Amino acid sequence: MYTAMLYLHSYLRWAVLLLGIYLVVRAWLARRDNGWEPLPARLKIFVLLFDIQAAVGVLLYAFFSPMVQSSMQDFGRAMQTPALRYWAVEHPTIMLISLILAHVAFFKVKRNADPGAQRRAVLVYLGIAVLLLLVLMPWPFAPAHRPLIRF
């Protein structure tokens, strides 16, 4: 079960990341020509995928991950080990903040009829969320690395 969840979590990260980058780039490009066309459907898909990603991550964190289980047995030691600290504290905390920011962007777009305000909400809130995703993903060069694509 752990392997299946890990694969799902790994592949979903790419869908979330790529769709998030697409939405932010669209909002950024629209700032010059005021060609912003609200993307509530795509933003809704992004938030839904991110929610699924987060749910799988919570299941991994709470029940399946041997790294997290090891960290919880001796939390003091885990805080002194960069890889264990990353999986026990840093990754889940920053990803939760990113998820909250994505939801804020969605609700700001949904509740505001002004295209300029919608574009700014996507740029600010979703932009920060995507930046946090990029920074705290377990890249192969990071101390708590994971492969880019699992086979």
Contact 24, 118 (CB under 8 A): no
Number of domains within the chain: 1
Mean pLDDT of 57-81: 89
Nearest to 121 by CA among 133, 131, 109: 109
- Per the structure, the complete domain to which residue 52 belongs is given by 2-136
Domain membership of residue 151 (yes or no) is no
Model confidence at 68: pLDDT above 90: no
Placement of tokens 């490009």 in the chain = 29
**What distance in Å separates the CA atoms of residue 34 and residue 31, rounded to the nearest whole number?**
5
**Is 0.95 surpassed by the pTM of this model?**
no
Placement of tokens 């920053």 in the chain = 94
pLDDT at 89: 92
pLDDT at 134: 94
Domain membership of residue 55 (yes or no) is yes
The fraction of the chain above a pLDDT of 70, given in percent, is 95
pLDDT digits (tens, 9 = 90+) for 104-128: 999 999 898 888 888 899 999 999 9
